Amino acid sequence: MMQISQFEALLARVNKPARYTDGEWNAVHKDWAAARVRLALLYPDVYEVGMSHLGLHILYHVVNSHPDYLAERCYAPWTDMEAELRRAGAPLTSLESRRPLSEFDVVGVTLPYELTYTNVLNMLDLAGIPPRAADRTEEHPLVIGGGPGAVNPEPMADFFDALLVGEGEEALLEILEAARAPRREALDRLAAIPGVYLPDRYQYSPAGPGPVGAVTPREGAQYPLVRRYVADLDAAPFPTKQLVPYLDTVHSRVTLEIMRGCARGCRFCQAGACYRPRRERNLDTLLRQAEEAVAATGFDEVSLLAFTSVDYSRIEQLVTGLTERLGGRGVGVALPSLRADAFSVAIANQIQKVRKSGLTFAPEAGTERLREVIRKRLSEEDLFAAADAAFSSGWFRLKLYFMIGLPTETNEDVEAISDLVHRLLDFGRGALGPRRGRLQISVSVAGFVPKPHTPFQWVGQDETETLAEKQRILQQTLRARAVKLSWTDPAVSALEAAVSRGDRRLGAVIHRAWELGAKFDSWGEHFQPALWEQAFAECGLRLSDYAHQELPRDADLAWDHIACGPAKDALRAELDRALGGGEA
Amino acid sequence: MAQYVCRYRKGEQLRWISHLDVKRTLERAMRRAGLPLALTQGHNPHPKLSFGPPLPLGATSDAELFALHVTEAMDADEVKQRLNEQLPPGLEVTEVWALPAYRKKETFGNIDLAGYEVTLGDSVGREDLQGRVDQLLASPELIVHRGGERPERTVDLRPLIHRLEVREGDDGPVLRMRLRTGSHGGARPQEVIALLGLDEREHVRRYHRTELSTRPSADRRPGAARGRRWRRQRR
């Protein structure tokens, strides 16, 4: 263990030292010596972000509920803390026992999104664990990845001894059981667990520039590798003694997972494709879990988590039940994801605790034609009905999410976003009457990123310059005082696309970018596109081949061996339907 | 309706969480404890709580204060016990007293003195330290520049230092100080350390607050430096 006084001295010199001090209510401190397998749960982003990731809370609960296992947490140290650790020559430690990660048997890494990957390497390095799996020996922990990013494990294949593809709450205990054995034997046992992928038991044969080529198993390896999922969500373990952070994190509230998966089938959506089927928790289970969690945490808000909360089949009963049980105690209910229709607004109306500030909708595209292409089933009628319901019941701020760079998109589709926003603005002014001055519409525009396992996996992303041009169109046409426009940097979208559709060769690029100093790439103030350009160039690869290239429909793709979502034929047919005019 | 004032301790384990974090933590502990908190009216009801002057980040304390309203009166000891069952190591309610029913919401606006014990490492000798203290106390004025405030201004800290003395602690000398605090102008222990020519990182092991209190009224001179602001606020 690190000397306490040494650690305390570091804390005095960093911002928000409470990121590193643990002791949160409901944190678990198990007896180190008594545990048969010790797991460090690593989250490659800063504490406030990582603490809001439900998956990690579930796994922490599952492991610590088991008598033989222990789980502790570790979030990415902010750059000031990293500098202090490196200067002091002190290793990265877990929160709970402040032991170096290298003393654990297993380091379990969540891969929440592509732009955190350099942080994974950086954290392993800070812990004194060689980032490349090939450089690790018997003395090092097993480093096992999982989470949303694992649906295409290839770009991170070099850095993991194993990855779990799919949902973890059942598989993780099997993984820890296997990890009781010495390293070599443990790996053999891991290879036999359904859904567990050992990259070095597969071989990649690139067949052109970009992620084209087949990954084939060496003898005995699972092929295809079929992702894990929980069949009965209602019976799946769920923590009601949720961790209560001291710091103000992204979401400091009770999270209830009411539903997993989504049946809407939007063609750009990787989560919709990879978390099938759509599963619900029972109403009674949820009401009980909400009461338990509020009693165990003291949070004043319960958030109903789902890809689209209002799609839950008994959402009205759930909301009524929760407000009846909790309202009197000053505990509110939050819906993080709404559909753009009058029904959603009516539900939101029922629960709105805080002053009526804003509602968020995601039309994604400006024209019905383009919404048909991406299979976002939202008519303009619905959207205006939602706006009508919102304005007439006291809301005056709307937030709208759009994407640009979608397949078949023309400049007219982009201009149509402006047109739609202006018409909503006019409508809102009329509806709000004397309160029209408070009307505000925030428009958030992201670049489309083609993702593996979706019908759009073959589609090339718009060139960075094209995306920038489309942004300019919006900036020029969306000029109203009541409109706030925000967008993602096209260079960030390009990197996200390249890593999403990455093959095994990208491991070298990620490693090199990290060596050059890339980290916290999802944080605007830290993202340095020049480092990535240099890394690609030094590895003899082109970002464009991964991000912008339209991939041949009949070629093997670098992630075809991972059976995650719909079959490849079905995806191809869906893409044809999309491009053929959209009659699905 | 009943109102209670609680004195609490902030220990080692939680010295790195901010005043705002402590507020949130206490509020959640009250909810876990099932105390029948009185809520404000309106669209966004929240518990009626008030807190004493914030403690600097990194400091520990035996003397922090907050007040809470509940809808049903209960024994002060019960409030204390139920809260302590729900508080993490590093926070402990040490004393609870009920306020008379006619009292308005306690706001701690009258607190204007804070006592501190500053534990210094052995890098500074006892006699050296005593010399620095004597020199400081002998100064007619101690002007410091506060760049962080807007508008930037200078303050004379001398009248705000009510006591400053050197004591022997378990490991090295301890500075005991009593400083003016509160919204009408106060001195921070860090400022006194700097005035003594000491470097916080090198010499200070721990700031510990020992006391929050109110000066006897005779001590409050209307003509004092901050007097005008005081009167304006009281109007």
A189-230 pLDDT, tens digit each? 999 999 999 999 999 999 999 999 999 999 899 999 999 999
Quick check: B83 contacting A, CB < 8 Å? no
pLDDT at residue A583 in the model: 47
Weakest mean pLDDT among A25-34, A555-564, B197-206 = B197-206
Query: Which span out of A503-512, B137-146, B200-209 was modeled with the highest average pLDDT?
Result: A503-512
- pLDDT value of residue A378: 92
On the question of a cis peptide bond just before residue A141, with omega within 30 degrees of 0, the verdict is no
Distance CA B52, CA B68 (A): 12
pLDDT exceeds 80 at position B11: yes
| Distance between first and last Cα of chain A | 60
Residue B218: pLDDT band (50, 70, 90) is: low
Neighbouring C-beta atoms of residue A186, cutoff 10 Å: 21
Per-domain boundaries in chain A: 4-197, 233-556
Per-residue pLDDT band for B220 (boundaries 50, 70, 90) equals low
| Yes or no, beta carbons of B25 and A246 under 8 Å apart | yes
The CATH classification number of B113-221 equals: 3.30.70
Q: Domain boundaries in chain B? A: 2-99, 113-221
Give the percent of chain B with pLDDT over 70: 90
Q: How far is CA B95 from CA A579, B5, B32, B74, in A?
A: 71, 8, 19, 15
Lowest-confidence region among A325-329, A387-391, A460-464, B147-151: B147-151
List CB contacts (< 8 A) between B27 and chain A.
Answer: 298, 300
Please give the Cα distance from B63 to B7 (Å, whole number): 6
Residue A572 has pLDDT above 70, yes or no: yes
What pLDDT shows up at residue A339? 85
Taking a C-beta distance cutoff of 8 angstroms, is the pair A547, A494 a contact?
yes
- Residue B221 to chain A, least CA–CA distance (Å): 38
Residue A89 has pLDDT above 70, yes or no: yes
Q: For residue A336, is pLDDT > 90?
A: no
* CB nearest to A298's CB, from B13, B28, B46: B28
Q: Chain A: residue nearest B58 by CA?
A: A12
- What's the pLDDT at B215? 86
A164 phi/psi in degrees, rounded to 5: -95, 125
pLDDT higher than threshold 50 for residue B229:
no
Neighboring chain B residues of A331 at a CB cutoff of 8 Å = 31
Q: Are both B2-99 and B113-221 of the same fold?
A: yes
- A351 or A324, higher pLDDT: A324
Name every chain B residue with its beta carbon within 8 A of the beta carbon of A25: 25, 28-29, 32, 88
**Could B89 and A246 be called an inter-chain contact, meaning their C-beta atoms sit closer than 8 Å?**
no
Instruction: Say yes or no to pLDDT of A281 above 80.
Output: yes
Amino acid B131: pLDDT: 96
Tens of pLDDT, residues B48-71: 899 999 999 999 999 999 999 999
- pLDDT(B223) > 50: no
State whether CATH 3.40.190.10 applies to domain A233-556.
Answer: no
Q: Which fold has domain A4-197?
A: Rossmann fold (3.40.50)
A581 — pLDDT class (breaks 50, 70, 90): low
Q: Is the ipTM of this complex over 0.85?
A: yes
How far apart CA A567 and CA A158 sit, in angstroms, is 26
Least confident piece of the model among A262-276, A319-333, A490-504: A319-333
- CATH topology match: A4-197 vs A233-556: no
- Average pLDDT estimate for A401-421: 97
Whole-angstrom distance, CA of residue A167 vs CA of residue A150: 10
Q: Residue A464, exposed/middle/buried by CB under 10 A (0-12, 13-18, 19+)?
A: buried
From residue A531, give the alpha-carbon distance in Å to each of A302, A483, A489, A506, A510.
41, 35, 16, 14, 10
Cβ contact B44–A355 (<8 Å): yes
Query: In chain B, which residue's Cα lies nearest the Cα of A356?
Result: B43
User: What confidence category does residue B221 fall into, taking pLDDT thresholds of 50, 70 and 90?
Assistant: low
Q: Which residue has the tokens 């096992």?
A: A144
pLDDT band at residue A3, thresholds of 50, 70 and 90? Answer: low
Cα separation, A359 vs A355, in Å, equals 12
| Domain topology for B2-99 | Alpha-Beta Plaits (3.30.70)
B122 close to A (CB below 8 A): no
Minimum-distance CB partner of B16 among A17, A299, A354: A17
State how far the alpha carbon of A505 is from the alpha carbons of A133, A518, A552, in Å: 15, 18, 19
Chain A residue numbers touching B47 (CB-CB < 8 A): 330
> Do residue B58 and residue A12 have CB atoms under 8 angstroms apart?
yes
- Would you place residue A329 in the very low, low, confident or very high pLDDT band (cuts 50, 70, 90)? confident
